[in-house]
Structure 1
Amino acid sequence: MMLALELLGGIGLFLLGMSMLTEGLKLAAGDGLRAILRNWTRTPARGLISGALLTGLVQSSSAVTVATIGFVNAGLLTLRHAVWVIFGGNIGTTMTAWLVALVGLKLDIGAFALPIIGFGVLAQMLGTKRPRVSGTGQALAGFGLFFLGISILKGAFETLLPWFETLDLSQAGFFAPFAFLVFGMVLAALAQSSSAAIAIILTATAGGGLPLELAAAGIIGANIGTTSTAIFASAGATPAAKRVALSHIVFNIYSGVAAFLLLYPLVAASHWLADLLLVDSKDEPLTLAIFNTLLNVLGVVLIWPFAGRLVDWLQHRYVAPEESIGRPAHLDPTLAAVPALALRGLVLEIQRMMTLAFASTEARLSPATKKPFNGNGDAGILALGQSIRDFIADLSRQPLPSDVVTALPDLIRSIHHVEETVAEGAAISEGAQPPEALTSGPAWDRLRAGVLATLETTAGDPDAFKTEFDTEMDEVDEAYEGIKKNLLASAAAGRISVDAMEAALLRARRMRRVAEAALKAERRLCPWAPVASGRVETAPPEET
């Protein structure tokens, strides 16, 4: 009974120490984690290295994963870059095994743990108004608790050594490694930390009672079992977060299965590396630390050739409707090599964006819409606009024909005006609502009809469009001026409050802005619309 309590207490101290160490280091680092993730993930190699270094620093792959997910959600980090941070995090998390093998099981750290904890708590208390000092103190206290737990676990497993020796596990055949694989998975899932599970396994091997191959199988299981954290973290999360978590799961399972199939060669390679590093290969915890690192490095090497396909596969998982809208349907990186085709694809994509945006705005302004419009598609339309801009930026890095150079400014302005219609439409339906009596009547019907007409342009060439532009905009301006005059007169006569008048006038002004932005978007795109059917018109539109 006492042995079970000792094991439970050691595990508890170890997990508490790990938690305090991680949180303290994150607090002490300030914005360092954010800055490194923003600036050091632009290539696969840099993402891999930054993920490994950050995880080794904060002693938590979960912290790095959560930060990475946050950057993906914010659009500051693409999934293609984020997966390499995740892969690097798996390498960085092996630092815990090295700490246990080199320090926790070599020195009588338990004798120094209590003073370390005391100094850490004191620094944390004195630095309450200085986050970095407080974080450093918390990390120091966690460091002491971490090794105090290791010391207690080491003593408990030494008591269990005679029992291990009676089991003769080395003669158990294939089922013993498989059983320890499952044991490692369960242990990591329960502890929600592969580092904790691996530390327990390393401590159990320190007395020599656990065969190295079985301990190695347990380490593989711990690496697979830690994916449960990603599964729990992604429950109810955004699609981007789920894809990042899925990359973590795929990597750990892929590398774990490969390592288990190569279990005995990898153990032999760990012995060889231990001898090469002038380390006693009979030092089983240290050999297992090498094995753990080798396991994760092997996973990166094996997945590297397939990383691009993995990212493409992940992009099609958990796709939200907004993301389907936001993905270009007519643009492809290969088009950039042929500027004429790229221009055609850009025109088609902007036409698609315009159709989506105008349909959304029309639904908001339609008198048949009695309930608030669900604008969830706005994010997708705006994302599509950014994707088109990104394509234009990539296209502009090469020499371009004169017609394409002439077209690009108009296309960029067209995107901007389309986004204006979305923003103004959202403001109309989601902003403060004026009294219904002030937004109804013949004048408002005329304004609404004029705005809706601008969302359905029929002209096919620039000359015809100019006539339509002037006619439709004049109709909207006349209706707007009539509403403005009536509202001001009613407020001056005291028939309506000034606040109600201003709210109604703001709605009319926004409806006019929708019409103006829609017509400008169409005017900018109209000269280049023939490109979509194979005929290029190079005359730029006149300013209005």
Structure 2
Amino acid sequence: MTSILAPLLGGLGLFLLGMALMTDGLKTAAGDALKSILGAWTRTRARGLVAGAFITAAVQSSSAVTVATIGFVNAGLLTLGQAIWVVFGANVGTTMTGWLVSQVGLKLDWGALALPLIGLGMIAGLALKSRPRLGGAAQAVAGFGLFFLGVGLLQQAFSGLAPQIAALNLEEAGIFAIPVFVLVGALLTTLTQSSSAAIAITLSASAGGAVPLPLAAAAVIGANIGTTSTALLATIGATPAARRVAMAHVAFNAVTALAALALLPLLLWASEGVLDGAHLVDDTPGRLAAFHTLFNVLGVLLILPLAPRLTRWLAGLFGTPDEALSRPEFLDSNLLQTPALAVRSLALECWRLHALALDLAAARLAAPGRRSAGPDHRHDALSDLADAIRDFIDRLTQTTLAPQSGKVLADLVRVIQHAEEVLQASAQLQALPAPRTGPALKPAWQAIDDQVRASLAAAADRETFADTAADTEKAFQTLKSALLAALADGSAGLGPVDTGLVRAQVLRRIALSARDGRQRLGDWLNGDNGQS
């Protein structure tokens, strides 16, 4: 038994090591090309699908591509709609491993092929340390050698196990063996964190005919299911958007697996009969590689009509209150066809941004000098909302607008800027220490605080506009004079006075920005959208 177990474990280890070296080496050799492809080739569903398949076939790791895609979504570089098609393409691209194993690894003299590749790759890698991209290519060559060496050892191990496996009479196991082999494939992938390893084991086991084709195909389906574990592990501590991408991976693989199991006889006939007839494959491992490709392509065809609904469903998962703030409530791409309605919706969304910014500023004013322990997600969410409104305005300006609409859009852009000024100033206020108030300064500080609160309340009144600029300036000048007088008579030092002046200026900026934003909104809130 030891003579079989040793090459089995050794072959698996060499295969995994070779896959890791190949993946890392090819990513290093590609440099920024993979990031460029993900960034530029994903603007449509078809391009995202091709990009995912191409990159996965190139780096030989769907897990690496899926985890990278999750990272890009985490960083805001890819949208959910773009990312899910990259993930779907990665599932198609990963089938290249089966073809490599079946058509090269199991057919060539692995010793004669693998050992020179390992030697040449490692020597070239050492010689090219100063040139990372060429060194990465050399590492990938060594990885290919280890890959084929591992496949050869796996084949050797399973050839030794063939009599024992044949004695199990798997041909007569019946339909209940199918779910067992699906589970075996899933467990192998989960344990090795590589669907390629599970598929290589399955292909090697089937090469001698010990495992019947239907059961080996069931294990391949299980490997496809097991690969979702890597994506789920990558979402620990990730953003809701990244978790949605992982769920898209799970959904795709679940749909694909169910379809493959339901159509197993038909897909096996296609991989065995049609491809044999075309002289493309003539053995069980080749048929399994073809089966793997067929059912993943079938998964893409099945998910195609479901993708819009799936994207909407995923968009509602793992939601947070902050994320709800960042999502526009009144903007819809369909409104771009009717500019008058689009401008009206923009006014409502700008009001929402304005009101939310005032609400956050008021909360910060109520807690002077109290800094948040972590990142201010509410502030970030409102910044994202401002960006979403700008994006909608940009798309609207590319349509045919009435002459008066330019005035509306110009005012609404300024409303966004004033809301951002309120956010930035209130954040600065929160970072400043609470003011020192002596008997002479306390009334002046109380007056400007009351005035800023009054300005925020007036700016939050949707029905009427009250110009508070003069009262704000009066309160500011009174406080400024009181601070300078305290410095002159020695009742306050330079440090507190200097900090107090900065705080007073920030308070004035909050009040005036809130007032200016409300003034810019003007009549647009009441339905005058400039289209007349």
Q: With structure 1 as the length reference, what TM-score do the two structures score?
A: 0.91
Judged with a 3 Å threshold, the aligned counterparts in structure 2 of structure 1 residues 440 and 234 are, in CA distance, closer, same or farther, namely farther
Is this contact kept in 1: 2:422–2:513, CA < 8 A?
Answer: yes
Partner of residue 285, structure 1: 285
Partner of residue 136, structure 2: 135
| 2:190 is the counterpart of 1:189 | yes
Report Cα offsets for 1:494-516 as digits up to 9, x if no partner: 77665554433332222222122
Which is worse superposed, 384-393 or 247-256?
384-393
Partner of residue 469, structure 2: 473
Superposed counterparts of 1:297-308, under 5 Å? 297-308=297-308
Task: Measure how far apart 1:403 and its partner are.
Answer: 3.6
| 2:54 is the counterpart of 1:53 | yes
Which is worse superposed, 169-178 or 395-404?
395-404
Partner of residue 397, structure 2: 396
Structure 1, unaligned runs of 5 or more:
540-544
Partner of residue 501, structure 2: 505
Letter in 1 for 2:185: G
Partner of residue 316, structure 1: 316
- Tell me, what secondary structure is at the counterpart of 2:306? helix
Paired residue for 1:521, among 508, 517, 522?
A: 517
- Residues in 2 aligned to 1:293 and 1:388: alpha-carbon distance in whole angstroms: 42
- Residues in 1 aligned to 2:295 and 2:237: alpha-carbon distance in whole angstroms: 31
Judged with a 3 Å threshold, the aligned counterparts in structure 2 of structure 1 residues 106 and 474 are, in CA distance, closer, same or farther, namely same
Letter in 1 for 2:187: V
Letter in 1 for 2:306: F
Is this contact kept in 2: 1:528–1:538, CA < 8 A?
Answer: no
Judged with a 3 Å threshold, the aligned counterparts in structure 2 of structure 1 residues 424 and 116 are, in CA distance, closer, same or farther, namely same
Is this contact kept in 2: 1:14–1:149, CA < 8 A?
Answer: yes
Letter in 2 for 1:509: Q
Task: Measure how far apart 1:488 and its partner are.
Answer: 5.2
Is this contact kept in 1: 2:436–2:496, CA < 8 A?
Answer: no
Partner of residue 232, structure 1: 233
| 2:317 is the counterpart of 1:354 | no
Judged with a 3 Å threshold, the aligned counterparts in structure 2 of structure 1 residues 354 and 276 are, in CA distance, closer, same or farther, namely farther
Is this contact kept in 2: 1:91–1:297, CA < 8 A?
Answer: yes
Partner of residue 153, structure 2: 152
- Tell me, what secondary structure is at the counterpart of 1:378? helix
Letter in 1 for 2:284: E
Task: Measure how far apart 1:456 and its partner are.
Answer: 1.8
- Residues in 1 aligned to 2:55 and 2:136: alpha-carbon distance in whole angstroms: 16
Superposed counterparts of 1:207-246, under 5 Å? 207-246=208-247
- Residues in 2 aligned to 1:108 and 1:507: alpha-carbon distance in whole angstroms: 78
Task: Measure how far apart 1:527 and its partner are.
Answer: 2.5
Letter in 1 for 2:509: R
Task: Measure how far apart 1:41 and its partner are.
Answer: 0.4
Structure 2, unaligned runs of 5 or more:
none
Partner of residue 334, structure 1: 334
Q: Pairwise CA RMSD of aligned residues?
A: 2.5
Letter in 2 for 1:87: F
- Residues in 2 aligned to 1:299 and 1:233: alpha-carbon distance in whole angstroms: 23
| 2:173 is the counterpart of 1:180 | no
Judged with a 3 Å threshold, the aligned counterparts in structure 2 of structure 1 residues 276 and 354 are, in CA distance, closer, same or farther, namely farther
Task: Measure how far apart 1:440 and its partner are.
Answer: 6.7
- Residues in 1 aligned to 2:432 and 2:143: alpha-carbon distance in whole angstroms: 51
Judged with a 3 Å threshold, the aligned counterparts in structure 2 of structure 1 residues 113 and 408 are, in CA distance, closer, same or farther, namely same
- Tell me, what secondary structure is at the counterpart of 2:87? helix
Task: Measure how far apart 1:451 and its partner are.
Answer: 1.9
Superposed counterparts of 1:350-389, under 5 Å? 350-366=350-366, 372=372, 375-389=376-390
Superposed counterparts of 1:431-442, under 5 Å? 431-433=431-433, 436-437=436-437, 441-442=442-443
Partner of residue 127, structure 2: 126
- Residues in 2 aligned to 1:157 and 1:442: alpha-carbon distance in whole angstroms: 88
Judged with a 3 Å threshold, the aligned counterparts in structure 2 of structure 1 residues 179 and 522 are, in CA distance, closer, same or farther, namely same
Report Cα offsets for 1:325-366 as digits up to 9, x if no partner: 111222222322332222222222211111111000001012
- Residues in 1 aligned to 2:189 and 2:325: alpha-carbon distance in whole angstroms: 39
Is this contact kept in 2: 1:123–1:136, CA < 8 A?
Answer: no
Partner of residue 104, structure 2: 103
Is this contact kept in 2: 1:364–1:373, CA < 8 A?
Answer: no
| 2:8 is the counterpart of 1:7 | yes
- Residues in 2 aligned to 1:54 and 1:293: alpha-carbon distance in whole angstroms: 16
- Residues in 2 aligned to 1:440 and 1:184: alpha-carbon distance in whole angstroms: 75
Report Cα offsets for 1:394-418 as digits up to 9, x if no partner: 3222212334333111111111211
- Tell me, what secondary structure is at the counterpart of 2:357? helix
Is this contact kept in 1: 2:182–2:220, CA < 8 A?
Answer: yes
Report Cα offsets for 1:112-160 as digits up to 9, x if no partner: 3233223323333334343213322322222221111111111111111
- Tell me, what secondary structure is at the counterpart of 1:402? coil
Partner of residue 542, structure 1: none
Q: With structure 2 as the length reference, what TM-score do the two structures score?
A: 0.93
- Residues in 2 aligned to 1:25 and 1:298: alpha-carbon distance in whole angstroms: 28
Task: Measure how far apart 1:280 and its partner are.
Answer: 4.1
- Residues in 2 aligned to 1:502 and 1:30: alpha-carbon distance in whole angstroms: 51
Report Cα offsets for 1:376-396 as digits up to 9, x if no partner: 211221222222222222322
- Residues in 2 aligned to 1:20 and 1:421: alpha-carbon distance in whole angstroms: 51
Q: Which runs of 4+ in 1 moved over 6 A?
A: 458-462, 492-495
Is this contact kept in 2: 1:34–1:67, CA < 8 A?
Answer: no
- Tell me, what secondary structure is at the counterpart of 2:433? coil
- Residues in 1 aligned to 2:127 and 2:523: alpha-carbon distance in whole angstroms: 69
- Residues in 1 aligned to 2:495 and 2:58: alpha-carbon distance in whole angstroms: 57
Which is worse superposed, 480-489 or 87-96?
480-489
Which is worse superposed, 133-142 or 241-250?
133-142
Report Cα offsets for 1:60-115 as digits up to 9, x if no partner: 11221122222222322211111100000000111111111111111112233233
- Residues in 2 aligned to 1:433 and 1:251: alpha-carbon distance in whole angstroms: 52
Q: How many residues align?
A: 529
- Tell me, what secondary structure is at the counterpart of 1:42? coil
Judged with a 3 Å threshold, the aligned counterparts in structure 2 of structure 1 residues 459 and 250 are, in CA distance, closer, same or farther, namely closer
Give the share of equivalent positions with the same residue, in percent. Answer: 47
- Residues in 2 aligned to 1:232 and 1:49: alpha-carbon distance in whole angstroms: 25
Partner of residue 76, structure 1: 77
Letter in 2 for 1:361: A
